[in-house]
Structure 1
Amino acid sequence: MITRRRMFASLAAAAVAGPGLALVAPRALGAVAPDGSGTKAAGALPLTVSNSTGAYANSSIHVYIVGNQGGQQVRVTADGALAPIALSDNGSDGFTDYAIPLASSGETTLSIPYMSGRIYVALGSKLKFKAVTDGAGNAALQYPAGWVTSDPNYDVLHDCAEFTYNAAGMFCNTTMVDMFSVPMAIRLTGSADQTTGTLVPGGRDKVFSAVRAVDAFAPLVVDDVRVIAPGHGLDAGLFAKDYFASYIDEAWSTYAGKNLTITTNAGAFTGRVGGGTLSFTGPATAAFAKPSTRDVLFCDGALAAPNDGTTGPVAAVLGAAFNRTTLVSTASQPTTDPASFYRTSLTNHYAKAVHAATADGKAYGFAFDDVADFASYIQDTAPAGIRLTLTSFS
């Protein structure tokens, strides 16, 4: 399976061109016309956008399809053309207007070309994307960072779904890795009929209320606009930098005295803490320094997972066990029973809340949430269409 970490490596920040604004790096997935003009994409997949918010009219909702194709940053126009990002796209206000309006009523039909990217939705106001020059001298795009108060889109109600679409198929998810704001579901049809991301009735309010009810997490709730993921909250000074410290210490102490077994597709790895390092033997050797709270929340740093098929999956399982707080209690990982997740008072209450609010129990509350298949991710190798539904706010 193509995981989110493989699909969206291109969406990691390659640079920061402005305060808190991520500059998205390109991914080679096809080609843009040599002359740089917009082109009708090969293999265009029908996209239907449905407004079931009950709170916003079609006229106040705009869609943006942006990402990477053929090593170049691109966007999709309303008529399905693929156009490269250009500095000249910035208007007199310094920002692009890549907004695609919804149909005046009913559903809106668009199309997605071969590319890897995001489908953003903005409700009430348009988003401000800025075309800039990246470190290699190429035109690139600054994406919204709703967790940064200085971001020009901070006050705009918006969210996104992520996808990679190429000759191998469509791979997509609804993501809460950075924040949760707009309830949405994706339905993918083709060789199967799959839906994920749908919230239970009142799900949006349940997420806001659950996060607000935990003192350490309450500052992550931004009015009725969004809930910021705790990793970004940590960077913004809204979340304790040592939140997971006692649990991390307990895990390191526990496995200094007994073995930890992690099973992946490559086989079983056996680990033990020694000299402050958690070292594994098995199909390959792997070693992990004691992570920080930030490493746990971002599943990065000491828990970074290379796409090598061996040490990377071990890191992913560790990251999931930390966020779900099953690592200390269970010496054989990954755990697969969701009833055992988030049982301790010190846990990732943000991830717990978004999972509890989804109809299928699946969500992307942190980057390794696909471990044991608990992420709001679906794929189809013979896709016929994709539907993005903005679901009820109540």
Structure 2
Amino acid sequence: MTSRHQRLPARRTLLAGLGGALIAAPAVTALAPHALAGTAADASEAAAALPLTLVNNSGSFANGSVHVYVVGNVDGQQVRLKPDGTLAPVALSDNGPDGFTDYAIALAGSGDTRLSLPHMSGRIYVALGAKLKFKVVTDGAGKPALQYPAGWVASDPNYGVLHDCAEFTYNSAGMFCNTTMVDMFSVPLSIRLTGAKDQTTGTLRDGGRAAAFAAVRQVPEFARLVLDDTRIIAPGHGLDAGLFDKDYFAPSIDEVWSTYTGRDLKVTTNAGTFTGRVRGERFSFTGPAEVSFHRPSTRDVLFCDGALAAPNDGTTGPVAAVLGAGFNRSTLTASAVQPTTDPASFYRMSLTNHYAKAMHAATQDGKAYGFAFDLSLIHIHSHRSEPAGIPGGPGPACGAGWGVAAW
């Protein structure tokens, strides 16, 4: 590990202090839809913009120490949001003398920060205390592309930066967004979306961050996933980094294979009910379609990939997603009818995904995005509505806000 990846002792001390602080849950301000003026063309373009309010409720980092990045894609092109609300394509020429871009959006000197978000899909990154280092490279198709932060990789230039992100897609159908812990958990983020409904996700209970760190630390097989007071990396990435047992779920996988060699498992999806039984090394299902799965590895379970890969085909994919969720939550042998929908039955076995369990326990509503097909995840969204003053014109989906939540 090079010196640029080292965390300063003073910073670790600060984070430890924050971990014990009890700060009231954030009041995330949201902007209501508003009427627009100007020419028809200007109005149409401006009406697509979503008012976005950024609220810093960290209690320990002043606005000047918080750096925001909105990056993503539009029509196959990688873009970044500028402070004025316009999009700019990423470009190799954006890399500075140090080899990295500076796409940071500064918060207002004090109080809340208001931005305007056009149609795009991407992520909102938040970095505390230091800026993130995004690098523009050339992808396999010869197009400029961003190298995103990978906080679970020790050699990544952002490994020592306290950061996290939320994901979103904003298009003509509305705003679809969530906070995510699929890769790691570090900075608590919450989202409030207002429009036809007022929806919130990601808000931690008081002391939730410290509780999540403590819960993961106390399970020996998961303890090495906790990196000081900076972040907890997801077990799949921990496995790849040599920090997690590659055979952790093997006993559970063997038990599922043994259980359903002699009985049926029924999986209900939007396509209908599939009936499955293990025959040799394959779990084979009949129903709306015939689908089957090889015996998965621990890595397949954690990433819901490999033998549990879920193509967007309406049949194999949904069954794979239910199986992946059942393995992570240790519910497959407890019930022969899946998916299990009662959260009280999740994570009851000692051999379970304790990382995802801790993420759910830390939130106020028990909902979190702890693995790839975490079915108790809440995606908050709102359909677009017509604003006053522009009859027949497209309107903003809603007001939206997110905050750095209480630690």
Query: TM-score, normalized by length of structure 2?
Result: 0.85
Greater strand share, structure number: 1
Give the letter aligned to residue 334 of structure 2: S
State the distance in 2 between where 1:340 and 1:300 align. Answer: 24
Contact 1:355 1:361 in 2 (8 A): yes
1:53-84 CA-partner distances (Å, limit 9, x unpaired): 11111010010000000110000000101000
Partner of 1:11: none
Partner of 2:78: 73
Partner of 1:381: 383
Query: 1:376 Cα deviation (Å)?
Result: 3.7
Matched, 1:280 2:285: yes
Q: For 1:328, what is the secondary structure of its paired residue? A: coil
Contact 1:41 1:81 in 2 (8 A): no
Structure 1 residues not aligned, in runs of 5+: 1-39
Partner of 2:405: 391
Partner of 2:389: none
Partner of 1:117: 122
Structure 1 vs Structure 2 CA RMSD: 0.9
Q: Quick check: which has more Rg, 1 or 2?
A: 2
1:279-298 CA-partner distances (Å, limit 9, x unpaired): 00001111000000000000
Q: For 1:287, what is the secondary structure of its paired residue? A: strand
State the distance in 1 between where 2:249 and 2:113 align. Answer: 44
1:4-31 CA-partner distances (Å, limit 9, x unpaired): xxxxxxxxxxxxxxxxxxxxxxxxxxxx
Partner of 1:27: none
Q: Which moved more, 1:379-388 or 1:49-58?
A: 379-388
Query: 1:275 Cα deviation (Å)?
Result: 1.9
State the distance in 1 between where 2:244 and 2:280 align. Answer: 30
Query: 1:311 Cα deviation (Å)?
Result: 1.4
Q: Which moved more, 1:126-135 or 1:302-311?
A: 302-311
Partner of 2:69: 64
- After TM superposition, list the pairs within 5 Å mapping 1:97-176 onto structure 2: 97-176=102-181
Contact 1:47 1:111 in 2 (8 A): yes
Partner of 1:6: none
Matched, 1:340 2:345: yes
Give the letter aligned to residue 345 of structure 2: S
- After TM superposition, list the pairs within 5 Å mapping 1:293-332 onto structure 2: 293-332=298-337
Partner of 2:21: none
Query: 1:44 Cα deviation (Å)?
Result: 1.1
State the distance in 1 between where 2:334 and 2:404 align. Answer: 38
- Choose which of 191, 200, 212 in structure 1 pairs with 2:217: 212
State the distance in 1 between where 2:47 and 2:247 align. Answer: 49
Partner of 1:357: 362
State the distance in 2 between where 1:55 and 1:138 align. Answer: 40
State the distance in 1 between where 2:158 and 2:116 align. Answer: 25
- After TM superposition, list the pairs within 5 Å mapping 1:136-285 onto structure 2: 136-285=141-290
Contact 1:121 1:159 in 2 (8 A): yes
Query: 1:165 Cα deviation (Å)?
Result: 0.5
1:220-264 CA-partner distances (Å, limit 9, x unpaired): 001110000000000000000000000001101100010000001
Q: For 2:327, what is the secondary structure of its paired residue? A: helix
State the distance in 1 between where 2:318 and 2:47 align. Answer: 33
State the distance in 2 between where 1:184 and 1:324 align. Answer: 24
State the distance in 2 between where 1:386 and 1:317 align. Answer: 31
Give the letter aligned to residue 377 of structure 2: A
Query: 1:385 Cα deviation (Å)?
Result: 1.2
Give the letter aligned to residue 61 of structure 1: V
State the distance in 1 between where 2:261 and 2:379 align. Answer: 35
Q: % of aligned pairs identical?
A: 73
Which consecutive segments of 4 or more residues in structure 1 shift more than 6 A?
none
1:199-239 CA-partner distances (Å, limit 9, x unpaired): 00000000000000000000000111000000000000000
Using CA pairs below 8 Å that are at least 6 residues apart, which structure has the higher relative contact order?
A: 2
Query: 1:41 Cα deviation (Å)?
Result: 7.2
Give the letter aligned to residue 377 of structure 1: H
Q: For 1:387, what is the secondary structure of its paired residue? A: strand
Partner of 1:36: none
Give the letter aligned to residue 358 of structure 1: T
Q: For 1:256, what is the secondary structure of its paired residue? A: coil
State the distance in 1 between where 2:113 and 2:214 align. Answer: 32
State the distance in 1 between where 2:80 and 2:138 align. Answer: 16
Q: For 1:49, what is the secondary structure of its paired residue? A: strand
Partner of 2:29: none
Count residues with an aligned counterpart. Answer: 351
State the distance in 2 between where 1:125 and 1:315 align. Answer: 40
